[in-house]
């Protein structure tokens, strides 16, 4: 299996460079607090040029978020950068009690989400962060997919106050989709492929690449037309999400998160929203009868990112095969991503 394309711009690099450029152009004072992650977030050059804007507190995620709250109360715009696994577990309490409950202008850059930490080790993988942070009221949870959407999201973050949790991966994300809107407006949800088929593949962040591949394989190999929806914001959910889901008998959640609470939960809640136009036969047992979960039931361990996706059943080919099988056994099949 081939390794990552190290020549292409990574999603994280595109986002952090664009965010720094945006913040430098704005009049508000700002500071970036990193958790021994200045180099991991490709901020070394920026720290050399603008040392007054970067503070590294070391491997101390709870301290970083608590300090960010204090700096925000002093009138600064604050960005915290660190590994998503440790920020979501070690710093969840200050994120809730200080940042979220006091509506502090803090944006957390949660890097190496899902399985993307790869060979850094299984302990670095953030396969619960979206669900954990989504349980904290008032925190916007967003993720770009490719580099272009990363730059648009950076502009959104610079123009809008937190609290915010930005999920990033340190690898290139390649999409076939070319946005018709050339403005810098970042959409909470966007179509990557839209058709009249019965299947809707939904993905968040880097998994949009696998969802697009799965849709193409479904068309080429299984003669199944599938649409692809990028759900870039998990909290609050994108406006009109129930109506985007409504026409599709089978909906697939593609994510490298474990269990409920992240994208699958967002889709499930949209399907059962009180004011949703998602009409269904009560005997069909919604939402389970329409929602197929392609996620994680257990960690596949450490290793190359592509190998981990394969072990978890989350490559485009394996997602397509799972969807095709579900169409035979009935869309009521709900399962995790591990084969």
Tell me the pLDDT tens digit for each residue of 152-191: 999 999 999 999 999 999 999 999 875 545 457 899 999 9
Read off the pLDDT of each residue in 243-266 and give the average, rounded to a whole number: 92
Mean of per-residue pLDDT scores for the chain: 89
d(CA 210, CA 186): 21
d(CA 185, CA 136): 26
Confidence at 197, pLDDT banded by 50, 70, 90: confident
What predicted TM-score, i.e. pTM, was given to this entire model?
A: 0.91
The CATH 3.40.50.970 portion of the chain extends over 11-167
Q: What is the pLDDT of residue 333?
A: 39
Read off the pLDDT of each residue in 93-97 and give the average, rounded to a whole number: 98
d(CA 270, CA 26): 36
3 pLDDT above the threshold of 80: no
Q: What is the pLDDT of residue 183?
A: 56
Q: What is the pLDDT of residue 292?
A: 93
C-alpha closest to that of 26 among 95, 113, 107 = 107
Q: What is the pLDDT of residue 113?
A: 95
288 pLDDT above the threshold of 70: no
304 pLDDT above the threshold of 60: yes
Lowest mean pLDDT among 4-8, 141-145, 181-185, 277-281: 277-281
Read off the pLDDT of each residue in 202-211 and give the average, rounded to a whole number: 97
Distance from the Cα of residue 21 to its chain's centroid: 22
118 pLDDT above the threshold of 70: yes
Q: What is the pLDDT of residue 180?
A: 47
The CATH 3.40.50.920 portion of the chain extends over 189-329
Lowest mean pLDDT among 3-17, 30-44, 212-226: 3-17
Confidence at 317, pLDDT banded by 50, 70, 90: very high
Domain 11-167: top CATH class:
alpha beta
DSSP letter assigned to residue 6: T
Phi, psi of 334 (to 5 degrees): -125, 125
Q: What is the pLDDT of residue 316?
A: 97
Q: What is the pLDDT of residue 296?
A: 92
Q: What is the pLDDT of residue 119?
A: 85
Read off the pLDDT of each residue in 122-130 and give the average, rounded to a whole number: 93
CATH number of 189-329: 3.40.50.920
Q: What percent of the chain has pLDDT over 70?
A: 88
Buried b (16+ CB within 10 A) or exposed e, 226-258: bbbbbbbbbbebbeebbebbbebebbbbbbbbb
112 pLDDT above the threshold of 70: yes
335 pLDDT above the threshold of 90: no
d(CA 51, CA 168): 24
């Amino acid at each position: 299996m081939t390794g990552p394309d190290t020549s292409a711009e990574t999603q994280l690099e595109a986002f952090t460079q664009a965010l720094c450029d945006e913040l430098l152009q704005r009049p508000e004072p700002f500071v970036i607090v990193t958790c021994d992650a200045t180099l991991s977030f490709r901020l070394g050059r920026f720290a050399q040029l603008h040392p007054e804007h970067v503070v590294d507190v070391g491997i101390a995620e709870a301290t970083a978020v608590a300090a960010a709250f204090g700096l925000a109360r002093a009138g600064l715009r604050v960005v915290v950068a660190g590994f998503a696994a440790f920020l979501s577990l070690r710093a969840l309490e200050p994120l809730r009690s200080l940042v979220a409950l006091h509506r502090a202008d803090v944006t957390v850059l949660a890097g190496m989400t899902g399985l993307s930490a790869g060979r850094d080790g299984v302990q670095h993988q953030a396969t619960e962060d979206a669900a954990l942070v989504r349980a904290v009221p008032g925190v916007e949870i967003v993720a770009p997919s490719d580099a272009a959407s990363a730059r648009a999201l950076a502009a959104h973050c610079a123009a809008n106050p937190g609290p915010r949790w930005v999920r990033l991966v340190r690898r290139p994300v390649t999409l076939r989709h070319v946005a018709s809107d050339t403005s810098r407006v970042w959409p909470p949800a966007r179509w990557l492929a839209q058709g009249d088929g019965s299947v809707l593949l939904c993905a968040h962040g880097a998994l949009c690449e696998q969802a697009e591949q799965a849709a193409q394989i479904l068309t080429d190999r299984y003669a199944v037309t599938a649409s692809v929806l990028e759900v870039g914001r998990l909290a609050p959910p994108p406006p009109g999400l129930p109506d985007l889901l409504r026409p599709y008998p089978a909906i697939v959640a593609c994510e490298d998160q474990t269990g409920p609470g992240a994208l699958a939960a967002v889709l499930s809640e949209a399907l059962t929203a009180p004011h949703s136009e998602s009409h269904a036969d009560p005997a069909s047992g919604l939402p389970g009868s329409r929602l197929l979960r392609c996620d994680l039931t257990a960690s596949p361990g450490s290793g190359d990112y592509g190998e981990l996706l394969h072990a978890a059943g989350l490559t485009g080919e394996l997602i397509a095969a799972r969807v095709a099988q579900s169409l035979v056994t009935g869309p009521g099949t709900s399962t995790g991503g591990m084969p």
